[in-house]
């Protein structure tokens, strides 16, 4: 009998030792990674289109990031920012503030995860407005802590059986162009969703009781759904009219992914608060809330924070990330990658019966898989898995998204070579060619 591979042995350990609650997008057991390539424990090579779920925009183990970490590791690992300040923390805040649109005075604060940033953005919105209600959207994803779960617009498997959930959270309708209400024309979708929101203020919660509206400028886990044109600017106007804090969640869309540094820039949105995370740390845990100083200064001293938030190692990584973005022009690179991926995805939409939609912004691109294009019935999860596993066999890591789990999305490092990008796309194309609805 052939000896099981190291990966298979370690996968068996994973099953024995690790809670089944944690997702398994692939069965890869990784040993090391560099730029857009991952090597497993048996030496098998993979092109990485998953990018650590959007955390590795500068590529795996970027030499500038690892050098900064090595240097920082010899200097200071941790004091907690509550106990002692250190320059890296302020430098990251300054860099973040400089990138956020809008002329009003801004401040920032750092945390460990996207969920933690979202939790705290909600606290700030409530403290500032002295109101309680928060509105998020269907298909939204903001994290997995109890409040974030409540904000999420997908029930299974995220929320089922895990409640009761946080009170005063309401879900409004997000304009999903591929799946509009029956009979509605695409060009009427923005007006429809805004009309629904006005109705919502009468039937669900009054606008003057709403502390914040939280929105992803492109829905990430929900399936890379780009809102219909004008929707985000209209939300801005509604928030201004009713004194509601507009929280733009850029945790997945940020750091160049969409071909702008922040996705909100595509529609000229000036936010009140922004939540950031993922690619800020190139794999080190760091997140933050950035926004209007008057909102970030509206809580009592000591009300917000945490032991590790913005720890020196993560700050060192984040500062290196900012440098890499500038030196390697990664925002422009995202546009170039996006154009290549879009061309291929659009052609697959014409060619393959299972590809119902091709969409995205910049390098944040996706295809939505269906059993037939007319009914748009989502391709069952098991079939989607078959496609992803076929890619894995051929040496491509690529992950899914969407409320129906039928969206294949690209989050490859923005440093990927054109050769690797095209090779990865060839593998995905081959898997789709084989796929039967
Ligand atoms: C838009 C958005 N917000 C928040 C989060 C939560 O981030 P984390 O998993 O770091 O808690 C995610 C994670 O995917 C996300 O995509």
Q: Do domains 6-58+329-434 and 67-327 have the same CATH topology?
A: no
Nearest ligand 1 atom, CA 220 = 16
Residue 310 φ then ψ, to 5°: 65, 40
pTM of the predicted structure, to 2 decimals: 0.98
Of all protein residues, the one whose alpha carbon is nearest to atom 3 of ligand 1 is 142
Q: Is residue 437 predicted with pLDDT exceeding 80?
A: no
Residue to mutate (ligand 1; options 143, 148, 247; most atoms within 8 A of CB): 143
In the chain, where the domains are located: 6-58+329-434, 67-327
pLDDT band at 223 (very low <50, low <70, confident <90, very high): very high
- Residue 283 C-alpha to ligand 1 middle, in angstroms? 13
Mean pLDDT of 81-106: 98
Out of 22, 25, 114, 264, mutate this one to test ligand 1's pocket (max ligand atoms within 8 Å of CB): namely: 114
Which residues make beta-bridge pairs with 358?
367
112-163 pLDDT per residue, tens: 999 999 999 999 999 999 999 999 999 999 999 999 999 999 999 999 999 9
Which has the closest alpha carbon to 320: 112, 63, 55, 144?
63
pLDDT for 307 equals 97
Assess whether pLDDT exceeds 90 at residue 3. no
Distance CA 97, CA 115 (A): 20
Measured distance CA(144)–CA(130) in Å, rounded: 25
pLDDT for 436: 75
The CB density around residue 386, as the number of other CB atoms within 10 Å, is: 16
Pocket of ligand 1 contains residue 410 by CB under 6 Å: no
Q: What CATH number was assigned to the domain covering residues 67-327? A: 3.40.640.10
CB atoms within 10 A of CB 307: 11
Is any ligand 1 atom within 6 A of the Cβ of residue 142? Answer: yes
402 close to 223: Cβ distance less than 8 angstroms: yes
Nearest partner of 410 among 175, 252, 217, 229, judged by Cα: 252
- C-alpha–C-alpha distance, residues 387 and 88, integer Å: 43
The number of the ligand 1 atom at minimal distance from the alpha carbon of 144 is: 11
Percent of the chain predicted with pLDDT > 90: 98
pLDDT at position 56 is 98
Residue 386 has pLDDT above 80, yes or no: yes
Query: In terms of Cα–Cα distance, which of 373, 383, 375, 343 is closest to 360?
Result: 343
Å from CA of 287 to ligand 1 middle: 10
Q: Is the pLDDT of residue 253 over 80?
A: yes
Gyration radius of the chain over CA positions: 21
* CATH placement of domain 6-58+329-434: 3.90.1150.10
Q: Give residue 392 CA to ligand 1 midpoint distance, Å.
A: 24
Atom of ligand 1 nearest to the CA of 278: 10
User: Is 218 within 8 Å of 225 (Cβ atoms)?
Assistant: yes
Question: Using an 8 Å Cβ cutoff, are 273 and 125 in contact?
Answer: yes
Q: How far is the CA of 25 from the centre of ligand 1 (A)?
A: 16
Q: Decide: 279 in ligand 1 pocket, CB within 6 A.
A: no
Q: Do residues 345 and 358 lie in contact, with contact meaning Cβ atoms separated by under 8 Å?
A: yes
Centre of ligand 1 to C-alpha 251, Å, is: 6
**CA torsion 386→356→254→138, rounded to 10°?**
-100
Quick check: CB of 322 below 6 Å from ligand 1?
no
Average pLDDT, the chain: 97
Atom of ligand 1 nearest to the CA of 221: 16
Mean pLDDT for the stretch of residues 275-292: 98
Q: What are φ and ψ of residue 15, in 5° steps?
A: -65, -35
Span from the CA of 415 to the centroid of ligand 1 (angstroms): 22
How far apart are the CA of 115 and the centre of ligand 1, in A?
A: 6
Q: Assess contact for 22 and 383: CB atoms under 8 A.
A: no
Tell me the mean pLDDT in the region 331-354: 97
């Amino acid at each position: 009998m052939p000896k099981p591979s190291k990966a298979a042995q370690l996968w068996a350990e994973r099953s024995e030792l690790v809670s089944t609650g944690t997702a398994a997008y692939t069965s890869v057991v990784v040993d090391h990674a560099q730029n857009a390539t991952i090597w497993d424990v048996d030496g098998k090579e993979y092109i990485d289109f998953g990018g650590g779920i959007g955390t590795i925009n500068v590529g795996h183990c970027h030499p500038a990031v690892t050098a900064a970490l090595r240097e920082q590791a010899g200097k200071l690992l941790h004091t907690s920012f509550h106990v002692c300040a250190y320059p890296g923390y302020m430098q990251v805040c300054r860099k973040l503030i400089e990138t956020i649109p809008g002329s009003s005075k801004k401040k920032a604060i750092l945390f460990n995860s996207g969920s933690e940033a979202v939790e705290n953005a909600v606290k700030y919105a409530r403290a500032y407005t002295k109101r309680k209600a928060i509105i998020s959207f269907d298909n939204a994803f903001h994290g997995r802590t109890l409040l974030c779960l409540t904000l999420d617009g997908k029930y299974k498997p995220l929320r089922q059986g895990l409640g009761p959930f946080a009170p005063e959270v309401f879900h409004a309708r997000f304009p999903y162009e591929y799946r509009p209400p029956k009979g509605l024309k695409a060009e009427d979708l923005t007006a429809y969703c805004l009309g629904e929101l006005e109705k919502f203020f009468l039937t669900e919660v009054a606008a003057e009781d709403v502390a914040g509206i939280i929105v992803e400028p492109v829905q990430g886990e929900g399936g890379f759904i780009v809102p219909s044109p004008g929707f985000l600017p209209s939300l801005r106007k509604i928030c201004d009219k009713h004194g509601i804090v507009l929280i733009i969640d850029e945790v997945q869309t940020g750091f160049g992914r969409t071909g702008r540094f922040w996705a909100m820039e595509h529609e000229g949105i000036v936010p009140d608060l922004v939540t950031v995370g993922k690619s800020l740390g190139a794999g080190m845990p760091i997140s933050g809330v950035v926004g209007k100083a008057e909102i970030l200064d509206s809580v009592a001293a000591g009300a917000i924070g945490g032991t590790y938030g913005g720890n020196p190692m993560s700050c060192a990584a984040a500062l290196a990330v900012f440098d890499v973005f500038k030196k390697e022009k990664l925002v422009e690179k995202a546009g170039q990658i996006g154009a290549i991926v879009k061309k291929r995805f659009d052609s697959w939409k014409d060619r393959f019966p299972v590809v119902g939609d091709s969409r995205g912004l910049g390098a944040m691109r996706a295809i939505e898989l269906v059993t037939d294009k007319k009914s748009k019935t989502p391709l069952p999860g098991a079939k989607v898995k078959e496609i992803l596993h076929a890619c894995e066999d051929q040496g491509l890591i690529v992950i899914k998204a969407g409320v129906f789990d039928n969206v294949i999305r690209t989050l490859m490092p923005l440093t990927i070579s054109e050769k690797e990008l095209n090779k990865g796309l060839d593998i995905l194309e081959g898997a789709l060619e084989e796929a039967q609805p």
